[in-house]
Structure 1
Amino acid sequence: MDYEKLIQVRDEKNCFARELGICTEEIREGYARVSLRVEEKHMNFVGSVHGGCLFSLADTVAGAASSSYGYYSTTVDGNIHYLSPAMNVKMLIAQAQVIKYGKRISVFEVKITDENGRLLAQGTYTYYNLGKQIEL
């Protein structure tokens, strides 16, 4: 698997993630890391990064980790625990690690931190392998 090409394809074709400003930094088998430079458009009315933005970041990184096996997949389930408000942060870093890789169903753990390594959110995401290889 050409992970650099996979990063390029994901960043080019994932319009929603691109609109949010999510950048894929690393993909390797069962793992992915993405980042997001926080802007005003990501904030809610109390001055914290919007929970929907954090959820999208988590879903995006878990999807990237799922794609590391070379197949298209889709989210089956996702849950997130918001552990600390994302206030006064400049950068968000999300990492996903495989918990279980199966023939059709795979599960990933996600952690989101700020630029100082403070854990902001943690979740578990489940993906369904669509059985079609990603064309690079």
Structure 2
Amino acid sequence: MNDEYIKNVKNDRFAQLLGIEIIEAYPGYALVELVIEEKHKNGIDIVQGGVIFTLADYAFAVACNADGTATVGINASISYFNAPKGSRIRAEAKEESKQKKICGYKVEIKDEDGTLIASFSGLGYRKRTKEGG
């Protein structure tokens, strides 16, 4: 993990507030994790969908910024399949395409048993490359 490249996403105060941690990151890839706490649950005692979305969105951000390019999301969608079981969930982001200005990522969110919780697709706009373009 190159800390210099991911300094912007490591400073994400909302991810810090939720307790999301970066497990692994390199250009085009990220794995992030959240230990489920009571504050993450909704009124029917399951993890709130916005928490799952934020976990996926953060994995997307880490993966597409890990090459040193300042990248912001311009489109995202998520499909939910199962409520998480256990005490933690992970989001794994993988690059599907990358051009000079636009990149696409798929993120799978799974619980600790490996059950697919949700699938997220993100499209990013690469604002500045490390070469300055």
Sequence identity of aligned pairs in percent? 30
Q: Which structure 2 residue ranges, 5 or more long, are not aligned?
A: none
Correspondence for 2:15: 17
Q: How high is the TM-score relative to the length of structure 1?
A: 0.89
Distance in 2 (CA, whole Å) between partners of 1:101 and 1:115 is 30
TM-fit CA distance, 1:4 = 3.9
Distance in 1 (CA, whole Å) between partners of 2:10 and 2:29 is 19
Root-mean-square deviation (Å): 1.6
Correspondence for 1:119: 116
Distance in 2 (CA, whole Å) between partners of 1:127 and 1:79 is 12
Distance in 2 (CA, whole Å) between partners of 1:6 and 1:121 is 30
Determine whether 1:29 maps to 2:27: yes
8 Å CA contact retained: 2:9, 2:62: no
Distance 1:102 1:132, change over 3 A: closer
Distance 1:25 1:100, change over 3 A: same
TM-fit CA distance, 1:113 = 0.4
Distance in 2 (CA, whole Å) between partners of 1:89 and 1:78 is 26
Q: How high is the TM-score relative to the length of structure 2?
A: 0.91
* Greater helix content: 1
Q: Which structure 1 residue ranges, 5 or more long, are not aligned?
A: none
For residue 68 of structure 1, the aligned residue among 59, 66, 69 is: 66
8 Å CA contact retained: 2:19, 2:35: yes
- Runs of 4 or more, structure 1, over 3 Å off, are none
